[in-house]
Chain A
Amino acid sequence: MNWGDVWDAMFGGLPYYGEILALVSNSVWAGAVLGLVGGLIGVFVMQRDMAFAVHGISELSFAGAAAALLIGADVVGGSIVGSLIAAGIIGWLGARARDRNSIIGVLMPFGLGLGILFLSLYSGRSANRFSLLTGQIVSVQSDQLGWLIVIGAIVLLGILLIWRPLRFDSLDPQAAAARGVPTTAVSLGFMLLLGLIVAVAVHIIGALLVMALLVTPAAAAMRVTAGPLAVPVLSAVFGLVSAVGGILLAIMGTLPVSPYITTISFAIYVVCRVIGARQGRVMRERMHA
């Protein structure tokens, strides 16, 4: 390993940082929307114990995008179709956590396998191939970026509109149903929104790494607070910092964006765990005092 090459890969672009930033400004916006919305929806992913479902949806979303690439259709459209099919199947068949996990376990390798098949058959630009798995936001075309931002905004609006019934259903589905919350419709609505945002995330961070923005920020926030406002706000901020920070760091060099995003979001989680453990200790001491 040549340290000079590593330095170049990481910081080689610094002299031209301003120009690069201007070129990728739309990517930064898309990353910001995804970070924000991913952080918010992640709170419900955690409460509904659906981290594994996020992973399953992202693999089928990848298959959809790969199929679109192969037949020359719109890649974002393909990933949305794949996402929604997976979210629909999981939402429809997997009402109970046990059923859900087995269905996802069955769907996920199938989706990943299909995607790899489509990519192998695809003869176009090879840079496109693995960007769907590991993400490369800066290579997404600008009209597609516009779509990603619009979809993210729709998901944000949707999640805010069903916020309270969804929270009730996530925490106590029986009491929610008894109080007249249309729990089936709320759950399916949530799966639809989750499918859409996963499709966006596949293009920005890659199918394999979606959880870094849809699970990790919420998991981190829940370590340090339990407030009904503090958790989603903190989670959204963590998602935003990870996504935007990752892109801003990555464009200093030639390395892909995803490892920066995953590392920042992981580092936030570790810090929150340490803070949470300390809070817990203080609280226990106070109670014993």
Chain B
Amino acid sequence: MSGPPAQANDTDASPLSIRGAALRRGDRELWSGLDLDVRPGELIAVLGPSGSGKTTLLRAILGLEPLSAGTITALGVVRQAQQPGFRRRGDRRIGYVPQQRPLPPDTALRGRDLVALGVDGHRFGFPWPRRGDRARVDRLVHEVGADAFANRPAGTLSGGEQQRLRIGQALADDPRLLLCDEPLTSLDLANQQAVVGLIDRHRRSGASVLLVTHDINPLLGKVDRILYIANGRFMLGKPQEVLRSDVLTDLYGAHVFVLRAGDRLVVVGAPDAEESHHHHADGEATA
């Protein structure tokens, strides 16, 4: 990857700006024409059927996946651009919580070491311990409420405990942009609320958050805008503007109903993205 200026030309204060982005996999276009400007302190949820390219969007922002068209600028740095072709891979200033894979039980790691990877995992050279690193890890562990289990083997921790520590890892450099991929999957209600609370608190410090999820309910009341990807198209707006039967029916090109059950929303009848493996075999998703 060579050539173009790493700094954005305009002094746009937007933590994340996407222009004319398109994503193609093989001969299939997942989506195109995506424009998105995220404001500081904004929490945006990315919704859509599995296989619609939500994870790939986050990875494209990190420069780990190529777009087929368009430009992404994050934290004042061009992450990728097609004209001229350019991609910048990875950055510690962007927090990233990848989709959760449970750790094997015999992982040679304590809970706090998971956080420590965010502090010193990128450093080459002799791994001498530094007192400053230790203090940073202690502080992060405390911030995500993991003091009680931080010294236990990471592989023996519950999904919710591991997720807190992974968020601690992502927050190591106090990122002004945080990308979370399905951070609530397979967590019970209490842990979902705890994780949402951590993310929301970081957002209140002025950081922007882009969060991929298949269930919007734990985030209702916290989320500012929703980016709904389906059928190769987008809908971007406030929750009450997007999560409506007529809007989603138009987006999917098929009859979709948004039902309200108490204080929960359920999307019924949303067709799945083609060739995808969906957990909801009946084609229903909570959204």
Please tell me if A143 contacts chain B, counting CB pairs below 8 Å.
no
Inter-chain contacts of A168 with B (CB < 8 A): 117, 121-122
Contact assessment for A180 and B126 in the assembled complex, using a CB-CB cutoff below 8 Å: no
Which one, B89, B92, B117, B154, contacts A226 given CB within 8 A? B154
Q: Which chain B residue shows the least CB distance to A235? A: B108
CA–CA, A167 to B64, complex, Å?
20
Please provide the chain B residues from 143 to 172 with a CB less than 8 Å away from any CB of chain A in the complex: 153-156, 166, 169-170
Which one, A162, A174, A226, contacts B108 given CB within 8 A? A226
Inter-chain contacts of B122 with A (CB < 8 A): 164-165, 168, 176, 179-181
Inter-chain contacts of B107 with A (CB < 8 A): 47, 171, 226
Size band of the interface chain B makes with A: 35 or more
Which one, A160, A165, A171, A179, contacts B126 given CB within 8 A? A160
Given contacts A164-B123, A165-B123, contact A179 B109 (CB under 8 A): no
Interface membership of chain A positions 221-240, coded 1 if the CB is closer than 8 angstroms to chain B and 0 otherwise: 11101111001000000000
Size band of the interface chain A makes with B: 20 to 34
Contact assessment for B121 and A164 in the assembled complex, using a CB-CB cutoff below 8 Å: yes
Please tell me if A71 contacts chain B, counting CB pairs below 8 Å.
no
Contact assessment for B109 and A177 in the assembled complex, using a CB-CB cutoff below 8 Å: no
Which one, A165, A178, A226, A231, contacts B98 given CB within 8 A? A178
Please tell me if A161 contacts chain B, counting CB pairs below 8 Å.
yes
Interface membership of chain B positions 53-72, coded 1 if the CB is closer than 8 angstroms to chain A and 0 otherwise: 00000000010100000000
Inter-chain contacts of A221 with B (CB < 8 A): 108
Given contacts A162-B124, A180-B92, A181-B122, contact A175 B117 (CB under 8 A): yes
Contact assessment for B64 and A228 in the assembled complex, using a CB-CB cutoff below 8 Å: no
What distance in Å separates the Cβ of B74 from its nearest Cβ neighbour in chain A? 12
Inter-chain contacts of A179 with B (CB < 8 A): 90-92, 96, 118, 121-122
Please provide the chain B residues from 90 to 108 with a CB less than 8 Å away from any CB of chain A in the complex: 90-92, 94, 96-98, 103, 106-108
Which one, B92, B108, B123, B156, contacts A47 given CB within 8 A? B108
Please tell me if A285 contacts chain B, counting CB pairs below 8 Å.
no
Q: Which chain B residue shows the least CB distance to A218? A: B108
Contact assessment for A228 and B113 in the assembled complex, using a CB-CB cutoff below 8 Å: yes
Given contacts A43-B108, A165-B121, A181-B122, contact A175 B96 (CB under 8 A): yes
CA–CA, A203 to B98, complex, Å?
43
Inter-chain contacts of B155 with A (CB < 8 A): 226
Contact assessment for B108 and A222 in the assembled complex, using a CB-CB cutoff below 8 Å: yes
Q: Which chain B residue shows the least CB distance to A49? A: B104
Inter-chain contacts of A226 with B (CB < 8 A): 106-110, 153-155
CA–CA, A178 to B175, complex, Å?
12
Please tell me if B138 contacts chain A, counting CB pairs below 8 Å.
no
Please tell me if B120 contacts chain A, counting CB pairs below 8 Å.
yes
What distance in Å separates the Cβ of B140 from its nearest Cβ neighbour in chain A? 14
Contact assessment for A180 and B91 in the assembled complex, using a CB-CB cutoff below 8 Å: yes
Q: Which chain B residue shows the least CB distance to A47? A: B108
CA–CA, A97 to B94, complex, Å?
28
Offer 26 A-B interface pairs, CB within 8 angstroms, sorted by A. A160-B127, A161-B124, A163-B127, A164-B120, A164-B122, A164-B124, A165-B121, A167-B117, A167-B121, A171-B114, A172-B98, A172-B117, A175-B98, A175-B169, A175-B170, A177-B62, A178-B90, A179-B96, A179-B121, A180-B89, A180-B90, A181-B90, A181-B122, A226-B106, A226-B154, A283-B156
In the A-B complex, the 8 residue pairs with the closest CB atoms: A168-B121, A226-B153, A180-B90, A178-B96, A231-B108, A174-B98, A163-B127, A178-B62
Question: Which residues of B approach A to under 8 Å, CB–CB?
Answer: 62, 64, 89-92, 94, 96-98, 103, 106-110, 113-114, 116-118, 120-127, 153-156, 166, 169-170
